[in-house]
Amino acid sequence: MNVPDDLLYTESHEWVRREGDKIRVGITDHAQAELTDVVYVELPKMGASYDARGTIAVVESVKAASDIYAPAKGTVLEVNKALESNPALINTDPYGEGWIYVLQMDDPAGLEGLKDAAAYKAATG
Amino acid sequence: MTEAPAKTTPLYDEHVKLGGKMIPFGGWLMPVQYSSIMEEHQAVRKSVGVFDISHMGELVAHGPRAGEWLNTMLTNNVEKLEVGSGQYTFLLNDDAGIIDDLIVYRIEQEKFLLVVNASRIEDDFAWLRSHLGMEVELADESEQYAGLAIQGPSVGELFQALFGKEKELPARNQIAPFELGTTPLLVARTGYTGEDGIEVFFPAAAAPKVWNEVLAKGDSLGIRPCGLGARDTLRLEMCYPLNGSDLSPEHNPLEAGLGFFVDLTKPEFTGRAKLQREKEGGLARRLVPFRMKGKGPPPRPHYRVFRDGAEAGELTSGTLSPSLNYGIGMAYLATPVPKRGEEIEIEIRGQKFPAVIEKKPLYKKA
């Protein structure tokens, strides 16, 4: 399982890349492998605000719809439109082209409590 | 109430070895998929796939009047079955509600094999036993049997690789005994996928051996082990009903659109009076297939259906069709039901998405 060292991770299997006071978010390799065959992504609304741990997007496989949670409170700056026509990017490149959205954090200290790669690896076995 | 621990089939260890993702289903732990529902689905549509169906039940009715008795318990006409033939049929309660849908095979002149849904084994057996006829013995042999469904256009080649070049597949809906090494098997030309295929039943102890033999002989044909996920997408593309979702004691076979398997010319069978009244008085609702228009989230069971802005029912089945690459489903709608081509709306997370009524099957081979 691929767990890049330079990212942070949530309990609910999102990855978070810090880009200044913004964060780029997707789901982990482990999560995409569990879901398999992502067939639809409901993207967050541009410009909308979300609370930490609030539902911000939905990733659907053939079998189930899974909620994606915001890792911090903030406002959506960018969404990955490519997922609308090619949701399988989440399977093929979860940490790259499969990113889901970029959030402007209200509080840049809001990422405390996320796991580093070693802790995430340990948690997912 | 605490749930009983999930049962496992004799192939549990094989599923785990192959990376099967095990989930609870009707009281059983079964593989939902091994690697990918999409790939498993396509293997069945394009070459061949194998499913563990050992969780399904096998009830055996035996005796000089077994056929006569079954004909009063089941909706289809058992008397039409010659030895070695099977038919799809329903077991109804007195109110014509569906206890189970099943296939009954006449395996000997006075001996019948009923292959029933896993979650219904105990209920079916209890119901049948409480209505048992004279000179009939009924046995639940589910524990003794394992079963595999081998489905896909390459099934003929795989069959001959397993049983020998000189052997021929039984005809559609026929069942016949074969041997694989020293293991006796019953092979039926039936399935739940819309593809050519067989379902085989054999002693449970031989399950790992038969399973691995099928996978080995099917390797050059591109065989894939397939889970419940692909089983569901394949059957829904054909509009085959799923017991517990599309069929239940709240529904009867006529409103499910399965009157073809109900012989109302038979003088008597459980549920007949109610069905006759329903037929004459008109059905209140019907199960209709539909597809989503345009891109959108896949429809799923229990999503609400709207017609002309008013709520009209809910989905009993829904998925993204791997063959068609759009959402498909079935829903019970109040009669008169919309015609093919008419538009309905499906509510998904508070938003309404357009869908269009279709005819079954939703998927037709090119």
Specify whether the backbone of A41 is left (phi greater than 0), alpha (psi in -120 to 50) or beta. beta
How many CB atoms lie under 10 A from the CB of residue B129?
A: 12
What is the pLDDT confidence band of residue B38, given thresholds at 50, 70 and 90? very high
Interface check for A84 against chain B (CB to CB < 8 A): the answer is yes
Q: Averaged over B6-13, what is the pLDDT?
A: 97
Where residue B1 falls among pLDDT bands split at 50, 70, 90? very low
Q: What is the ipTM of this complex?
A: 0.87
CA dihedral (B355, B360, B363, B366) positive or negative: negative
| pLDDT tier for residue B2 given thresholds of 50, 70 and 90 | low
What confidence score (pLDDT) does residue B295 get? 84
pLDDT tens column, B207-238:
999 999 999 999 999 999 999 999 999 999 99
**pLDDT tens readout for residues B248-300:** 999 999 999 999 999 999 999 999 999 999 999 999 999 999 999 988 999 99
Chain B residues inside the 8 Å CB shell of A34 = 21
What is the average pLDDT across B358-364? 97
Residue B332 CA: distances (Å) to CA of A18, B275, B353: 49, 17, 18
Residues of chain A numbered 26-65 and touching chain B (CB < 8 Å): 34, 36-37, 39-40, 42, 58, 60-63, 65
Query: Is there a contact between A61 and B300 if contact means CB atoms under 8 Å apart?
Result: no
**Residue B116 vs residues A65, B88, B99: alpha-carbon distances, Å:** 30, 10, 10
* Nearest residue to A15 via CA among A94, A122, A112, A108: A94
Average pLDDT estimate for B125-147:
97
**Is B221 touching A (CB cutoff 8 A)?**
no
C-alpha of B221 from chain center:
25
When scoring B25, B30, B34, B36 by the number of chain A Cβ atoms within 10 A, the one with the most, hence best to mutate, is B36
C-beta of residue A13 within 8 angstroms of C-beta of residue A31: yes
* Residue A4 confidence (pLDDT): 97
Tokens for A19, please give them. 């880009």
Q: Scanning every residue of chain B, which has its alpha carbon at the shortest distance from the alpha carbon of A62?
A: B320
Q: What is the pLDDT of residues B291-339, one digit of tens each?
A: 999 889 999 999 999 999 999 999 999 999 999 999 999 999 999 999 9
Q: Nearest residue on chain B to A67, judged by CA atoms?
A: B349
Nearest CA in chain A to B319: A62
Write out pLDDT tens, residues B185-206: 999 999 999 999 999 999 999 9
Per-residue confidence band for B3, with pLDDT thresholds at 50, 70 and 90? low
Q: With contacts defined as CB-CB under 8 Å, which chain A residues touch B349?
A: 42, 58
Residue B82 dihedral angles phi and psi, to the nearest 5°: -85, 165
Yes or no, beta carbons of B33 and A63 under 8 Å apart: yes
| Percent of chain B scoring above 90 in pLDDT | 96
Instruction: Say whether pLDDT at B37 is over 70.
Output: yes
- Nearest of B337, B359, B53, B327 to residue B211 by alpha carbon: B53
Contact with chain A for residue B20, Cβ under 8 A: no
Q: What is the mean pLDDT of chain B?
A: 96
| For residues B90-117, average pLDDT | 98
Residues of chain A with pLDDT under 70: none
Q: Is B210 helix (H, G, I), strand (E, B) or coil?
A: helix
The verdict on a CB contact (< 8 Å) between B322 and A40 is no
Contact (CB, 8 A) for B120 and B140 = no
Q: What is the CA radius of gyration of chain A?
A: 13
In this predicted structure, the answer to whether residue B5 has a pLDDT above a threshold of 90 is no
User: Chain A partners of B33 at a C-beta cutoff of 8 Å?
Assistant: 36, 63
